[in-house]
Structure 1
Amino acid sequence: MFKKSKPQVTPPPAAPTVEEMLADIDTFEICQPAGSTNASSSAAFEHALLTEPENLSLETWWQVFDEYDQKVKKLETMEGTLDAHKEKLLECKIKLEKNAKDLREGISKQQTLIKEVIDC
């Protein structure tokens, strides 16, 4: 009823030779992402600022100062956020303790009622 047909898949491409790979290495270029160069340059600026501040240009000094100022502002923002979360957690803790106390009182009342019924 059904005939078997030959698969019509093309063969995979041949692997490159060593010469082709070496030729590709000559044209290969590595591009550093912008973020990593800024971090290393920032660290270099800070190191230069600490070791030899008199040799830094005014522009470089202000650049390091601005980066430091931004870090301080970010830290202050994070600190405020953490304080807000801490307050919320304390409020939740108080609410949970109040609910636990209410539950304990309810359980003790039920136990006393059960004892009264059993004793009668």
Structure 2
Amino acid sequence: MFKKSKPKVEPPPTAPSVEEMLEDLETFEVNQPPLSGSTSDLEHALLTEPEAISLPTWWQVFDEYDRKVTKLSSTEANLEDQRNQLKECYAKLERNAEKLREGIQKQQALAKEALKC
């Protein structure tokens, strides 16, 4: 009565391979329009009159804010690394100072013994 017909829809395309995706990433480039006006003026306008700002300008302010957050995060990580280095240096200096104190005490003890004789 009813016959099975062949599918009339083409099969979906295959997913790109990892190599193809990496090749695409090498050629991918984002061209951002230059900011018009100073960033602080745009941020002020965004806070006071958000409906008066065009969508591209809003995205410019967003991108600038995102760059600032990224820079702040990297600066914070850098400062944390420097703090850890300073703590390590301080600990090393304390160990060396303690060795010097012990050496001085030994020398003083030897000098007192030599003077008693």
Q: TM-score range by the shorter chain?
A: 0.5 to 0.7
1:106 to 77, 90, 103: 103
Normalised TM-score (structure 2) = 0.67
Normalised TM-score (structure 1) = 0.66
Q: Give the C-alpha shift of residue 44 in structure 1.
A: 1.5
Q: Per-residue displacement from partner, 1:12-61 (whole Å, max 9, x unpaired)?
A: xxxxxxxxxxxxxxxxxxxxxxxxxx695212211110110011111111
1:75 aligns with 2:72: yes
1:84 aligns with 2:81: yes
Specify which structure has the higher proportion of helix.
Answer: 1
Show the counterpart of 1:116: 113
1:93 aligns with 2:105: no
Show the counterpart of 2:46: 49
Q: After the TM superposition, list the runs of 4 or more consecutive aligned residues in structure 1 that deviate by more than 3 angstroms.
A: none
> Aligned Cα RMSD in Å?
1.4
Amino acid at match of 1:57: S
Distance in 2 of aligned mates of 1:105 and 1:39: 67
Specify every segment of 5 or more residues in structure 2 that has no aligned partner in the other structure, as ranges.
1-34
Specify every segment of 5 or more residues in structure 1 that has no aligned partner in the other structure, as ranges.
1-37
Amino acid at match of 1:118: L
The higher relative CO (CA closer than 8 Å, separation ≥ 6) is in 2
Amino acid at match of 1:67: E
